[in-house]
Structure 1
Amino acid sequence: MRTGFRLLVLAGPPLPPIEITKPVTTFGKAAECDVRLSEPTVSRRHAVIERVDGDWYITDFESHNGTFLNGQKLRPREPIPLTHGDQVRIAPWVFRAAFRDSPFQLSHTTNDGNRSMLQTLAGTEGRERSQLRQLLAAAAAINGAATQAELCDQLLRAAVSMSGFQRAAVLRHDPSAETVEVLAHLDAKQHQAPFEYSRSLVRGAIAGSVVHLADPQASGSHSIVSLGISGALSAPLIVDGVVWGLFYLDSRGRERSGTGEGADACRVLAEIASLALSNLMRREVEARYDTLRRDAELASGAQRLLIPPESGVVAGVSYALRLVPGRFVSGDLVGVCQVDEYRAAAFIGDVTGKGMGAGLVMSVIQTFLAARLAISNDPAAVMNDLDIFMSTRLPPGRYASLWLGVLDVERATLAWTDAGHGLAFIASSDGVRQLECQGTWLGVHTGSPYRTATVPIRPGERLVLVSDGFIEQPNAAGAQFESSGILETLRDAGTAQEDVQKLFEAIERHAGTVLIRDDLTAAAFTLGSQRAGDPIRVGAECSMLG
């Protein structure tokens, strides 16, 4: 799990690196934002970065000037994954996401002192016909790359071939230029010596120029002299108007160093690669959106197949429920089913993870509940069997919480057990109380059995179940709604329908302008006046939405 990362400032007014460690970090001019960016082009609430199931996402808050990822303007209120090396533009700043678990090798640059030995190279007018053919072939290969790794490989091959240098690397710098990430490297001579990088050349490329090391002996750098570096060159790779990285070349000993024409070819290759990289990164942003959209559509399709009506009567138990999708496809499940003519089962839970993986786990839980409740009305017995069943089938690191209760119309009781959900309440005109959480999550299988608790349900009392999306929803100040918000809201309700309606009204007031993060699900149940043998509006099979 990625616990945090830094945003490095590549362009814009000076700022220290921004540490992103909290589950939710907001950006904007407003005083309540976690990262205050006091510039006219920044909106009061501009964007948010948040962690969901170990992955990081960024969302634009319908800002006036937009939020950009790798040069692509983000769709308002639609989250998109953040990965290592992504460039985020909140004008006038451009940041790079630097994750601690970078897949690339880090290397320190060599402090080679005096920049007077560097020459900034401008383009020359003429081109040999053979060099033009090489450039056209290189341009086709670079633009045809399907991934950043392939693009870097094609760039290095062309640069070594056309410049005369023997070693090449694509680097991504930090703002100080003291360390670089080595994204790709190529050694035509297969040397075993370490590849040293001149800090002066790195800084020159960061400034946007093609530069080369004119006199290595004059550098005063022992490491460069001892390695026998006879020449070196760097050129910037520019994305969204900012230096994204650079490619770096050198020769050693008696190896042929790059010529002026070779350096000029590198400048052209840098421009070709910059355009290709910009287009590739924009396509990658669209691909991330498409992946999330397809996942959401598949999960929504499963919801439509499983969703029961928003109100109804099952075995004499009246209910009302509602689900409002959040920005992330979550693993909420809630349902109601008939146990026999006098009893109805109600359940709510959550599966770790998101998307179709979580949806498949929910379907398995629903199927098991439907089969097991047909032969047992004891919630603990059903939960114990489900725990054993799921502990051998859940993927590593995936668990499920579940609250399961059986409402008995004839005896006016509620028998229930809890596998780590803990968000069940009894509401009446006399007050609201939260039912105590009893057990651990499904799939952990600690060996401790679940137990059934039984409480009376008096006329007018309601069983209210909510998803964790309610209690974890923050407001503009970052304060969560919590169980106290549920208790306060239910004090003013009087029926199952009112319970559900008031909960959603309260969470909307609490969230204010903050985006709803996760699915919000609420359900309320009360013992109705329906008699045994009367028609049942929801069939005998368990219905679930998730």
Structure 2
Amino acid sequence: MRLQATPWRTDAVTEVASKVAEFKLKSVSGPTQVDLTLRPPGPLMVGRRSTHDLALVGDDHVSRDHAKIELRRLTHSGKTSSEASDWAINDMGSRHGTWVNGARLTPGRQCPLRVNDEIVIAPWTFRVVGPGGGTGMASSIRIKTIEDTDSMAGSISRVAPGAERTLAQKRLTLLLDCAGAIHGAHDENSLAEAVLDAAVLGAGFANAALLRALEEDGTIEVVAHRGEIMDGARGARLSRSLIREASKGNAVRLPAAMHHRDEAHSIMQLDIDDALCAPIMIGASVAGFLYMDNRNVGGSTRAAEDATEFAVGLARLAAMAMASLKRIDLERRHALLEAEQAAGAEAQRWILPPRIGSFTPFTYIGESKPGRNLGGDFFDVAPLGEGKVAVALGDVSGKGVAASVLMTATQGHLHALLREQHDPARAVSTLNRFVHPRRPEGRFVTLWLGVFDAENETLSYVDAGHGYAFLMRSNGEVERLDAEGGTPIGLAPDVEYTGAVTPFRAGDRALVVSDGLIEQPMRTTGQRRGAAFGAEGVLACFSSAEQPDIVGALFDAIRRYAQSERLEDDATAVQVQW
């Protein structure tokens, strides 16, 4: 038997998309330029497949199914800070890995994203850009570099790797003295200030800046600066060709002697006599630049003879400190995420009813298993007296603490309503009016609620956008309990839900499940995502289970299918039998 799963979807996508702040993934380098807007609800698939949301074709370093970017959670107000996003990235077991801020992600482990995070899926490097193109750093400035590529052709000299080995002893002493200040920096802004203090003191340049490349059109971020880098009303004036050459991974120098040459015309217009740019490398990726120059000095200020070697050594120290800061930040994010999940999972466990219960003549078995990320599944059972019992299964959209809190509020209010209103349609309509003004923006709840009535031998139920409830008659026939009762709860304030009634007699069994069971993929040996367990898998267990614990048999089957004790998403199932 094949039943098509048709849970409610469309309006929720529109609702979520209208509430979540817009973040982007922009390429810093790579074979092709990328400007991807992260649109809810996700997930956004990344890989070599042309059908993916971000198709990175033409390079075998990218796996077919490389990574996915998914909506994680919202704050209670539904708004984000200037740095935190609602998104997370997850490596899908790629061969060459996904890197965030120089750290390789553990496959299957979600990594929350922040504005200005650098993501490497070789040979592409991307940066997370916040709403309005923000970088998330309050003190930084975004500027356009001067396009001088044609006029500078052949004028820039590349410094050979290993040049820092010729560093004079006096500069080495100064570099070591500066190392303590650099590694004592507690964030990237203070690190930038320490680097520039050392650069100006040791290299002999009057002007210095720590830069971060943002876009391929030459726009850069000035994290911190010294001297006349910011030139009054004209803004910052920097050589794009010098920075572009340094982005290839080596320090570059525009020597003072070349300013008499014709091809130096654009630099002369900037009154720059001498300039140097050293890349700050984290692994194989350029995380920033140390830029120094002398301008408007008429030769009165000259760089030290070993300024290039000093700058290369300083950039290496900065890279190590920056990598350490980024690693600590990632560890903090993971720890915060895991603490949230543990606290939420514990709260969910104690508010659920016992796994097995009986309210004559009905018995029930219910179970809820957390997935890789904290979600919002719940089930509840409420005796109503006079031979009636109510059973509910709900699923809050999204993940994280916000989903868990909304789940708790929804379940508690519904439980109280059912003691006063035995009509499921009235109860759900009232619940919707409670949830709508209190939910975090962009959230909603799908719900199936049924009232089993022994005296009248009926099941009255409402399906509010859920779609996964089944009934097996005593003769083995299976039907779907999916009469549409209304949209998911919380999207509109004045929805009046409608119910349906079907016979329910001795020997009949009902089974309600969440989408975590339906959508659980099969584990595969390759990188391709396996087929979903599907409604067919649920029905196969429902129809063939000879033991009374259908829920236990279903979870055993799903774990065998996934070849894992940990499921992709939270999963819930509840059965009722007369």
Common topology (TM > 0.5): yes
Q: Determine the structure 2 residue equivalent to 1:544.
A: none
- Preserved CA contact (<8 Å) 1:419 1:439: yes
Q: Determine the structure 1 residue equivalent to 2:273.
A: 230
Q: Determine the structure 1 residue equivalent to 2:155.
A: 117
Q: Determine the structure 2 residue equivalent to 1:142.
A: 182
List per-residue Cα deviations over 1:254-297 (Å, max 9, x = no partner): 26353334433322210110111111122122112211211111
**Counterpart of 2:385 in 1: which secondary structure?**
coil
- Preserved CA contact (<8 Å) 1:112 1:221: no
Distance change >3 Å, CA 154–CA 94, structure 1 → 2 = farther
Please identify, of 266-275 and 74-83, the stretch whose mean Cα deviation from structure 2 is larger: 74-83
Q: 2: distance between equivalents of 1:244 and 1:413? A: 66
By how many angstroms is 1:199 displaced? Answer: 3.3
- Preserved CA contact (<8 Å) 2:90 2:110: yes
By how many angstroms is 1:461 displaced? Answer: 2.8
Q: Determine the structure 1 residue equivalent to 2:43.
A: 23
- Preserved CA contact (<8 Å) 2:387 2:454: yes
- Preserved CA contact (<8 Å) 1:236 1:245: yes
Q: Determine the structure 2 residue equivalent to 1:501.
A: 553
Q: Determine the structure 2 residue equivalent to 1:194.
A: 235
Please identify, of 267-276 and 144-153, the stretch whose mean Cα deviation from structure 2 is larger: 144-153
Q: Determine the structure 2 residue equivalent to 1:57.
A: 88
Q: Determine the structure 1 residue equivalent to 2:82.
A: none
- Preserved CA contact (<8 Å) 2:252 2:278: yes
Please identify, of 66-75 and 204-213, the stretch whose mean Cα deviation from structure 2 is larger: 66-75
Q: Determine the structure 2 residue equivalent to 1:285.
A: 330
% identical aligned pairs? 30
By how many angstroms is 1:396 displaced? Answer: 2.6
Q: 2: distance between equivalents of 1:4 and 1:316? A: 56
Matches within 5 A, 1:501-520: 501-502=553-554, 505=557, 509=561, 516-520=567-571
Distance change >3 Å, CA 106–CA 139, structure 1 → 2 = same
Q: Which amino acid aligns with 1:151?
A: L
Q: 2: distance between equivalents of 1:69 and 1:321? A: 40
**Counterpart of 1:117 in 2: which secondary structure?**
coil
Q: 1: distance between equivalents of 2:302 and 2:531? A: 61
Distance change >3 Å, CA 349–CA 368, structure 1 → 2 = same
Distance change >3 Å, CA 359–CA 366, structure 1 → 2 = same
Q: Determine the structure 2 residue equivalent to 1:534.
A: none
By how many angstroms is 1:504 displaced? Answer: 5.8
Q: Which amino acid aligns with 2:303?
A: G
1:98 to 119, 122, 127: 127
By how many angstroms is 1:147 displaced? Answer: 2.1
- Preserved CA contact (<8 Å) 2:464 2:485: yes
**Counterpart of 1:426 in 2: which secondary structure?**
strand
- Preserved CA contact (<8 Å) 1:496 1:524: no
Q: Which amino acid aligns with 2:68?
A: I
List per-residue Cα deviations over 1:295-332 (Å, max 9, x = no partner): 11111211332233333323432222233321111111
Q: What residue ranges of structure 2 are gaps of 5+ in the alignment? A: 1-19, 74-85, 136-141, 523-527
By how many angstroms is 1:182 displaced? Answer: 0.8
- Preserved CA contact (<8 Å) 1:118 1:213: yes
- Preserved CA contact (<8 Å) 2:521 2:530: yes
Please identify, of 292-301 and 212-221, the stretch whose mean Cα deviation from structure 2 is larger: 212-221
2:311 to 266, 272, 275: 266
**Counterpart of 2:484 in 1: which secondary structure?**
coil
Please give the TM-score of this superposition, normalised by the length of structure 2: 0.77
By how many angstroms is 1:512 displaced? Answer: 6.9
Matches within 5 A, 1:109-188: 110-113=147-150, 114-121=152-159, 122-123=163-164, 124-128=166-170, 135-173=175-213, 178-188=217-227
Q: Determine the structure 1 residue equivalent to 2:424.
A: 379
**Counterpart of 2:549 in 1: which secondary structure?**
helix
**Counterpart of 1:243 in 2: which secondary structure?**
strand
Q: 2: distance between equivalents of 1:398 and 1:360? A: 11
Q: Which amino acid aligns with 1:505?
A: A
By how many angstroms is 1:19 displaced? Answer: 6.5
2:365 to 320, 328, 332: 320
**Counterpart of 2:490 in 1: which secondary structure?**
coil
List per-residue Cα deviations over 1:326-384 (Å, max 9, x = no partner): 11111111121222251211111122332222222222222212322222212222222
List per-residue Cα deviations over 1:413-463 (Å, max 9, x = no partner): 122223332332223311222412322232223422223332221333322
Q: 2: distance between equivalents of 1:342 and 1:246? A: 74
Residue 459 (1) aligns with residue 506 (2): yes
Q: Determine the structure 2 residue equivalent to 1:536.
A: none
By how many angstroms is 1:184 displaced? Answer: 0.8
Q: 1: distance between equivalents of 2:191 and 2:320? A: 11
Q: 2: distance between equivalents of 1:460 and 1:34? A: 52
- Preserved CA contact (<8 Å) 1:196 1:224: no
Q: Determine the structure 1 residue equivalent to 2:477.
A: 430
Please identify, of 412-421 and 295-304, the stretch whose mean Cα deviation from structure 2 is larger: 412-421
Distance change >3 Å, CA 62–CA 477, structure 1 → 2 = closer
- Preserved CA contact (<8 Å) 2:433 2:494: no
Residue 470 (1) aligns with residue 470 (2): no
By how many angstroms is 1:399 displaced? Answer: 2.5
Q: Determine the structure 2 residue equivalent to 1:330.
A: 375
Q: Determine the structure 1 residue equivalent to 2:8.
A: none
Q: 2: distance between equivalents of 1:217 and 1:404? A: 83
By how many angstroms is 1:494 displaced? Answer: 6.0
Q: Which amino acid aligns with 1:497?
A: D
Q: Which amino acid aligns with 1:149?
A: N
Please identify, of 177-186 and 457-466, the stretch whose mean Cα deviation from structure 2 is larger: 177-186
Distance change >3 Å, CA 300–CA 210, structure 1 → 2 = same
1:448 to 471, 474, 495: 495
Q: 2: distance between equivalents of 1:515 and 1:82? A: 23
Q: Determine the structure 1 residue equivalent to 2:76.
A: none
Q: 2: distance between equivalents of 1:401 and 1:505? A: 25
Q: 2: distance between equivalents of 1:254 and 1:322? A: 76
Q: 2: distance between equivalents of 1:34 and 1:427? A: 44
List per-residue Cα deviations over 1:512-531 (Å, max 9, x = no partner): 7998431121222122xxxx
Residue correspondences, number: 515
Please give the TM-score of this superposition, normalised by the length of structure 1: 0.81
**Counterpart of 2:404 in 1: which secondary structure?**
helix
Q: 1: distance between equivalents of 2:198 and 2:120? A: 31
Q: 2: distance between equivalents of 1:180 and 1:109? A: 10
**Counterpart of 2:243 in 1: which secondary structure?**
helix
- Preserved CA contact (<8 Å) 1:315 1:341: no
List per-residue Cα deviations over 1:208-260 (Å, max 9, x = no partner): 32222223454747654433223221001111243332222233222635333
Distance change >3 Å, CA 78–CA 125, structure 1 → 2 = closer
Distance change >3 Å, CA 103–CA 387, structure 1 → 2 = same
Q: 2: distance between equivalents of 1:211 and 1:470? A: 57
List per-residue Cα deviations over 1:26-62 (Å, max 9, x = no partner): 6599x999868986x99x8885323134744344556
**Counterpart of 1:57 in 2: which secondary structure?**
strand
